A = this chain, B = another copy of it.
């Protein structure tokens, strides 16, 4: 399974009066990339929620390297850094393709829960999702 980076151009409304994409919007871009990753892993988020699973965000860490400007094309690469069957960490790099520069590095922390937000052992409750997730997680070292 070949995971493709998530790609789009920066929208006009994402800019602020400094003329660059406002720093808050990167959190949204990471979510877009994460949703796209899940779809590529054949675990579409929509289905995850339909099965009564939630994936709340526990933490976000962002380091800004170089701005995105209006209409700049960017690519987001995602990798699962840690996964213990319930909690996991995704790391991201956002690359400004138009400028040829690294724009952002980031990590987000999550866990799988049921609808009451009680943590769930994925292997037991949703073994097919567990398998796909685990498989991608194990490939992290090949991607370095």
Contacts and interface: CB of A to CB of B under 8 A. Distances in A.
Interface of A: 11-13, 15-20, 22-25, 27-28, 31-32, 35, 44-46, 54, 56-64, 70-71
Given A13-B24, A17-B19, A31-B24, A57 B64 contact: yes
A39 to B, nearest CB: 8
A81 B35 CA distance: 35
B31 A12 contact: yes
A13 B13 contact: no
A12 B63 CA distance: 20
Contact of A12 (B16, B25, B54): B16
A24 to B, nearest CB: 4
Nearest to A15: B17
A71 B35 contact: yes
A71 B44 contact: yes
Nearest to A46: B71
A28 to B, nearest CB: 5
Contacts of A17: 12, 15-17, 19-20, 70
